[in-house]
């Protein structure tokens, strides 16, 4: 009786296991957006803002953004437009990278 070798199946299965461990559902995106801050709140000693892309953007997107620095958070004003770089997930929840006033020409 001849024994079958398991080697032809071993490496493809090993490769598929490796590949599946490298993928993740927690993908993050880097985004630059011009937004208007609509809310500020504290939760569990963390500081957050809610910001919506300005009216000229289609479609409008609302982000919930964690602001790591409480000093930066305290300087952010409601109903003011800002240019932001942020990292966020598919539900538009993320972390602020940079922020600057957006000149409105007024």
Least confident of 19-23, 50-54, 74-78, 81-85: 19-23
For residue range 2-34, what is the model confidence (pLDDT) as tens digits? 666 655 555 555 454 454 444 455 699 999 999
**Strand blocks (E) in 1-106:** 29-43, 46-53, 62-67, 81-88, 93-101
With 0.85 as the threshold, say if the pTM is over it: no
Length of the chain, please? 106
Residue 16, exposed/middle/buried by CB under 10 A (0-12, 13-18, 19+)?
Answer: exposed
Domains and CATH numbers, the chain: 30-101 (2.40.50.140)
Distance (Å, whole) CA 18 – CA 5: 22
Chain-centroid distance of CA 31 in Å reads 8
């Amino acid at each position: 009786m001849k024994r079958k070798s398991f080697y032809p199946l071993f490496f493809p299965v090993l490769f598929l296991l490796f590949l599946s461990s490298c993928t993740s559902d927690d993908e993050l995106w880097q985004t630059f957006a011009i937004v208007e801050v609509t809310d500020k709140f504290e939760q569990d000693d963390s500081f957050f803002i809610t910001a919506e892309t300005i009216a000229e953007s289609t479609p409008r997107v609302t982000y919930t953004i964690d602001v790591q620095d409480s000093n930066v958070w305290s300087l952010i004003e409601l109903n003011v437009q800002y240019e932001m770089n942020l990292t966020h997930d598919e539900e538009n929840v993320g972390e602020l990278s940079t922020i600057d006033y957006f000149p409105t020409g007024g």
